[in-house]
């Protein structure tokens, strides 16, 4: 099995008009081919989405309509991006989103694309497995590992930070196979990562909210963690306690 130090990876990041992979469009993309010691190739470009950029998205990435005016369309740059990605293992933070929005863009324009077949490593899940950062956003991981700030929240700055975060998170693994094996199983998270109870311990969250979460289409780690907590309460006969606020009065 190949050692991690000898493996080449591709880190990708897309800035978009929104979070709907079917409807939203890419407005900036960056990709970098690297291993643990050097960078082999990289590219980044702003992209004219040929549609409106919502204000809510501009507040996140600060890419305005004037900045993408006259820039290439995705059909012009996507073949080069896909060629750089090749069949390498793809790295990203919440990387399934980036893979999917690139794949859908390729389908929309009739561009041959096999990116969904690439193996990928999500640094968000790696951070959950690592378990020592209280918050697993890319910015908090950057601070946790004392990685220098690369500027605004833009595609290439995020790729550079993500590459370094990946190196830190991969330190406990000798081979890529070991890392994939560790991530093949759901990861137990003690803290709610989203919603109105974000940052709260799962043990402190009301039963009804956990039951609601457990029936929704969230990622495997959150569902596993919530269902594990529900099972713990049921085994400990805590369901009645959790639903009765007057029990201990």
Positive or negative torsion for Cα 230, 233, 238, 244: negative
153 is catalytic: yes
* Cβ atoms within 10 Å, residue 18: 12
Q: Which of 56, 86, 85 is nearest to 159 (CA)?
A: 85
Say if strands 26-34 and 9-16 run parallel, antiparallel, or are unpaired: antiparallel
- Asked if 113 and 102 count as a contact pair (C-beta separation under 8 A), the reply is yes
Measured CA to CA, the distance from residue 9 to residue 15 in angstroms comes to 20
Q: 62, 88, 144, 153: which one is catalytic? A: 153
Q: Which of 123, 160, 148 is nearest to 42 (CA)?
A: 160
- Asked if 81 and 112 count as a contact pair (C-beta separation under 8 A), the reply is no
Active site residues: 153
């Amino acid at each position: 099995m190949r050692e991690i130090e000898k493996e080449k990876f591709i880190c990708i990041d897309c800035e978009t008009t929104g979070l709907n992979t079917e409807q939203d469009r890419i407005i900036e993309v960056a990709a970098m081919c690297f291993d643990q010691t050097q960078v082999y190739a990289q590219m980044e470009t702003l992209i004219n989405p040929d549609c409106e950029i919502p204000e809510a998205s501009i507040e996140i990435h600060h890419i305005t309509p004037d900045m993408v005016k006259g820039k290439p369309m995705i059909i012009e740059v996507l073949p080069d991006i896909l060629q750089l990605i090749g069949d390498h293992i793809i790295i990203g933070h919440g990387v399934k989103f980036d893979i999917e929005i690139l794949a859908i863009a390729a389908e929309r324009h009739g561009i041959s694309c096999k990116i969904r077949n690439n193996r990928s490593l999500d640094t968000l899940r790696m951070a959950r497995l690592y378990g020592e950062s209280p918050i697993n956003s890319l910015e908090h991981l950057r601070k946790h590992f004392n990685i220098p700030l690369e500027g605004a929240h833009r595609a290439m700055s995020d790729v550079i930070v993500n590459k370094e975060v990946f190196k830190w998170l991969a330190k406990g693994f000798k081979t890529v196979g070991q890392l994939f094996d560790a991530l093949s199983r759901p990861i137990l998270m003690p803290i709610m990562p989203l919603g109105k109870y974000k940052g709260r311990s799962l043990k402190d969250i009301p039963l009804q909210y956990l039951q609601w979460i457990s029936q929704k289409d969230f990622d495997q780690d959150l569902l596993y963690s919530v269902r594990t907590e529900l099972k713990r309460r049921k085994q400990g006969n805590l369901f009645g306690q959790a639903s009765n606020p007057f029990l201990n009065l």
